[in-house]
Amino acid sequence: MALLPQEVIRKKRDGGRLEPAEIRDFIDGVTDGSVSEGQVAAFAMATWFSGMNRDECVALTLAMRDSGETLDWSEFGRPIVDKHSTGGVGDNVSLMLAPIIAACGPNVPMISGRGLGHTGGTLDKLESIPGYNIQPSPELFRRIVDEVGCAIIGQTADLAPADKRLYAIRDVTATVDSVPLITASILSKKLAAGLQSLVLDVKLGNGSFLTDPSETKTLARSLVDVANGAGVRTSALITDMNEPLADAAGNALEVENCLAYLRGEKAGTRLDRVVMASAAEMLVAAGISAHAVEAEALARRVLDSGAALERFALMVHRLGGPADFVDRPDVYLERAPAIISVPASRDGYLTACETRELGMAVIALGGGRTRPDDRIDHRVGLSHLLPLGTKVEKGEPIALVHAADRSQAEAMRERIAGLCTIGDEPPEARPVIISRII
């Protein structure tokens, strides 16, 4: 006989270990509404204080996965792979990674999200492309994944609905930062997509949600252990987010940056290293390549040959975008009315930047949301961001501000200049790939 919801809460509150059946029954109640909002909040707080071991977290993830529809791709006969990033500024890796991997053979049914806090959202970026449909019918989604190899869309109401309710309550009860609940929230949606393998990009630095190395490693370890425990081959890269990853931040600007990358114009950058390292992890996990060196070489070949750009073009067109989008992006991506440069305040080297605040500046320009119903201005943001370590002369542009009008652009120019530090000596070099968790 199942425990009453309050008894499950009491058991966890007192530090007890919940059985899979108890967790499943509780999550069933979250889904069908028989567990009240107060009980969900109490469960979240009890978990925040008492934690969960790996087996409990696996059970929670699976129960949330099974609260709605789960996708099955077995008829396709190809590896089903995906990646997830914990979010940062100028992190448009998904846009390039999906077509690169698809061009190498696996299928990538990528279910992505909108911007959260200071971080940009993959769906918001794609919606800067006229006609792009982030909510295709299930039949069209499957057909595009089969024929193109990849499709990046939004979460449907039928995928992991328990997570949607639980997250909304966590958001207003100060329990968002519980590692077991973060783990189950991320993985339940990914597992519902029917993945066979998953690569995680866990950000660390002043532009990420996590700034403490030990906390970042704890989350990465939890995600990897629980996903593997749930039957999905998973690894994680901990990557640096102490500066924007791409040289642009803003929706249309990051799509433009994506096209430049797929045309081979960003080789050797920090962005390139994260894309290639993630691609290598995905191809090895999918069984396409025997080891990382071979996998990266394959990813580089499909990039250099134009095959990845072709897949991106096909995906955009099949999801409602223009057939000639990659050939004529200037025709389709709206430009901000006011574009002005941010001058260096002095001679020297760019030594640091307040990355989170750069993300907040994009939101202030209208490129993100402060409320769920806010309308996004896809035109605005920052571009031509110089990487840390660059030697500059006074007055030289260190970034461009793209704004809705001249007065907003000029005000933002002063703000951006104040977020960048210029020193006499170059900063110590930091690796962009900090560590790997398996």
Catalytic residues, by residue number, are 82-85, 122, 170, 185, 189-190
Q: Which two tokens stand for residue 64?
A: 């949330």
- DSSP for 110-138 reads EEE---BTTB--HHHHHTTSTT--SS--H
Which segments of 172-249 are extended strands (E)?
A: 197-204, 233-240
Q: Say how many C-beta atoms besides its own lie within 10 A of residue 273's C-beta.
A: 17
Residue with tokens 């642009």: 248
Q: In terms of Cα–Cα distance, which of 59, 45, 67, 58 is closest to 178?
A: 45
Residue with tokens 């990358």: 261
Residue 76, both tokens? 């396709």
d(CA 144, CA 167): 30
Amino acid at 218: T
Instruction: Report in angstroms the alpha-carbon separations of 126 from 62, 115, 205, 253.
Output: 30, 12, 26, 11
How big is the chain, counted in residues? 438
